[in-house]
Amino acid sequence: MPFSEFVGNPETIHRLREMLARNRFPHAVILCGAHGSGKYTLALMLARAMNCLEQSCTDGTGGTDGLPDFCGRCSNCTRIAQAEDLDARFAEAVEARENLRDTDRKETRLFVQTHPDVLIIPPDPPQLMIKVDQVRHVIETIYYRPAEARERVYIFTSSAFMKEAANSLLKVLEEPPEFATIFLLAENPGELLPTIRSRSMTFSLGALAFTEIESRLAQLRPDWNPRQRALVARLSEGAMGRALSFDLESYVAARNHALVMLKSALGAGDHTELFKVTETYRSGAEGREKIENLLRNLYSLLEDLMFLQSGAARLVRNTDILGELKKMSEAANFAWVQRAADGLGEVERGLRRNLLRSLSLDAFATALERVS
Ligand SMILES: [Zn+2]
């Protein structure tokens, strides 16, 4: 899986590979971008390009652009690639720690490692912060020459450092060894100490156009039909990773509920269907995500109705149900949409006060009827 498979941000990728080619790769790199923008995917690709045993650009079998690439087949590439599914490796590491004796568990910090010279440092639960013992482990190993790779690679997958951990990291960045590279992945680089930022080089992964995501999904998710791909592309906020892991089924289920509620409010009359939907919103912790999902959907549909009301149909995100939305938009007016949005704010406040969820939702929908 060479660099050509990385979606978007071609200039950034080009610059990073050029620095590899010139042997000028910085010792510390901050990769920043939204959740799902490809920071981790890119860091692992660079780790492979640094350590591939048959660099395709030099042997002429690939890398047609003459810049460093990786084969994806050699023992370094394949072992590093085993870390690609970070969620799965992270869950395994957490489980392994759970199975330790009490005393050992307290002293064990989380790491993901599928290659002896490439260490991935995730935020340590339950606080989900990078802890000082994790950075200490980095310091203990980073000054040894790599065993099977050319370059030792460390990937911190979060910028949430405990204070002491950040200070320890700073010491490494002041005197990094020749043969090591540290990647810091950050959704918001402002979370990192200014002194860490000034010792690193920052690269940003910007949001992609939805048309670009849509066309990649056509290759990568043939199980979705074109309307579904268009919808997911618009909902993933420019992040390819979000698009690929998008849970379309739960989205559509929550949206159907939201549609029933809004249509009931617009049509008035029979409430059977409305009550059937709202009674599934129960109290308790598990129900929380479900209702939050519903509220997000209601907001998103209201936003689309707002776009239609103001003649900006091209901004509508729920494109797969455009016809339905247009009909609803004709039945509503701008003031109604505004009132509905206010009503949702009321439901949210009720949630915080632990009001019965089904009743709050009924009240929301029926209150909108009177004046519609
Ligand atoms: Zn390789």
Cα 151 to averaged position of ligand 1 atoms, centre (Å): 14
Cα 18 to averaged position of ligand 1 atoms, centre (Å): 18
Q: In this model, does residue 370 exceed pLDDT 80?
A: no
State residue 282's pLDDT score.
Answer: 86
Cα 26 to averaged position of ligand 1 atoms, centre (Å): 21
Cα 33 to averaged position of ligand 1 atoms, centre (Å): 27
SS3 221: coil
Distance CA 83, CA 114 (A): 6
Residue 201 burial (10 A CB sphere; 0-12, 13-18, 19+): middle
Cα 160 to averaged position of ligand 1 atoms, centre (Å): 32
Cα 70 to averaged position of ligand 1 atoms, centre (Å): 5
State residue 369's pLDDT score.
Answer: 86
Cα 202 to averaged position of ligand 1 atoms, centre (Å): 26
Q: How many Å is the Cα radius of gyration of the chain?
A: 25
**Structure tokens, 342:** 């206010």
**Structure tokens, 81:** 């690639």
Cα 4 to averaged position of ligand 1 atoms, centre (Å): 15
Q: In this model, does residue 90 exceed pLDDT 90?
A: yes
Give per-residue pLDDT as tens, 176-228.
999 999 999 999 999 999 999 999 999 999 999 999 999 999 999 999 999 99
Distance CA 358, CA 76 (A): 55
Cα 22 to averaged position of ligand 1 atoms, centre (Å): 19
Distance CA 170, CA 196 (A): 6
Give me the sign of the Cα torsion angle 355, 356, 357, 362.
negative
State residue 102's pLDDT score.
Answer: 87
State residue 372's pLDDT score.
Answer: 42
Comparing 129-133, 161-165, 228-232, 287-291, the range with the smallest average pLDDT is: 287-291
Compute how many other C-beta atoms are within 10 angstroms of the C-beta atom of residue 223.
8
Cα 178 to averaged position of ligand 1 atoms, centre (Å): 22
Give per-residue pLDDT as tens, 252-263.
999 999 999 999
DSSP conformational letter for 321:
G
Cα 78 to averaged position of ligand 1 atoms, centre (Å): 7
Question: Can you tell me the mean pLDDT for 127-139?
Answer: 96
Predicted model pTM: 0.85
SS3 307: helix
Cα 205 to averaged position of ligand 1 atoms, centre (Å): 25
State residue 283's pLDDT score.
Answer: 82
Cα 115 to averaged position of ligand 1 atoms, centre (Å): 13
C-alpha torsion angle, residues 138, 151, 64, 82 (rounded to 10): -50
Cα 110 to averaged position of ligand 1 atoms, centre (Å): 27
pLDDT class of 353 with cuts at 50, 70, 90:
confident
State residue 59's pLDDT score.
Answer: 43
Identify residue 195 by its one-letter amino acid code: T
Identify residue 368 by its one-letter amino acid code: L
| 28-33 and 180-186 beta bridge pairing | parallel
Cα 149 to averaged position of ligand 1 atoms, centre (Å): 11
State residue 61's pLDDT score.
Answer: 47
Identify residue 109 by its one-letter amino acid code: R
Question: Can you tell me the mean pLDDT for 237-245?
Answer: 94
Give per-residue pLDDT as tens, 284-336.
877 888 999 999 999 999 999 999 999 999 999 999 999 999 999 999 999 99
- Residue 332: HSE in the Cβ half-sphere, 13 Å Cα cutoff: 31
pLDDT class of 371 with cuts at 50, 70, 90:
low
Mean pLDDT of the chain: 92
Cα 65 to averaged position of ligand 1 atoms, centre (Å): 17
Cα 72 to averaged position of ligand 1 atoms, centre (Å): 5
Q: Which neighbouring-strand residues pair with 185?
A: 31
State residue 60's pLDDT score.
Answer: 44
State residue 56's pLDDT score.
Answer: 58
Cα 2 to averaged position of ligand 1 atoms, centre (Å): 10
Judge contact between 70 and 77, C-beta under 8 A.
Answer: yes
Cα 348 to averaged position of ligand 1 atoms, centre (Å): 52
Compute how many other C-beta atoms are within 10 angstroms of the C-beta atom of residue 95.
9
- 3-state SS track over 246-282: CCHHHHHHHHHHHHHHHHHHHHCCCCHHHHHHHCCCC
Distance CA 344, CA 323 (A): 24
Q: Would you call the peptide bond into 177 cis, given omega within 30 degrees of 0 as the criterion?
A: no
pLDDT class of 107 with cuts at 50, 70, 90:
confident
**Structure tokens, 236:** 């993933």
Judge contact between 45 and 72, C-beta under 8 A.
Answer: no
Question: Can you tell me the mean pLDDT for 134-159?
Answer: 96
| 180-186 and 201-205 beta bridge pairing | unpaired
pLDDT class of 271 with cuts at 50, 70, 90:
confident
User: At which residue do the structure tokens 């409305």 appear?
Assistant: 274
Q: In the chain, what percentage of residues exceed pLDDT 70?
A: 96
Cα 217 to averaged position of ligand 1 atoms, centre (Å): 26
Compute how many other C-beta atoms are within 10 angstroms of the C-beta atom of residue 283.
13
Cα 222 to averaged position of ligand 1 atoms, centre (Å): 28
pLDDT class of 235 with cuts at 50, 70, 90:
very high
**If we measure between CA atoms, which residue out of 327, 302, 328, 333 comes closest to residue 316?**
302
Cα 68 to averaged position of ligand 1 atoms, centre (Å): 11
Question: Can you tell me the mean pLDDT for 96-125?
Answer: 93
Chain CA centroid to CA 243, Å: 9
Cα 71 to averaged position of ligand 1 atoms, centre (Å): 4
**Structure tokens, 80:** 């590093």
Cα 50 to averaged position of ligand 1 atoms, centre (Å): 9
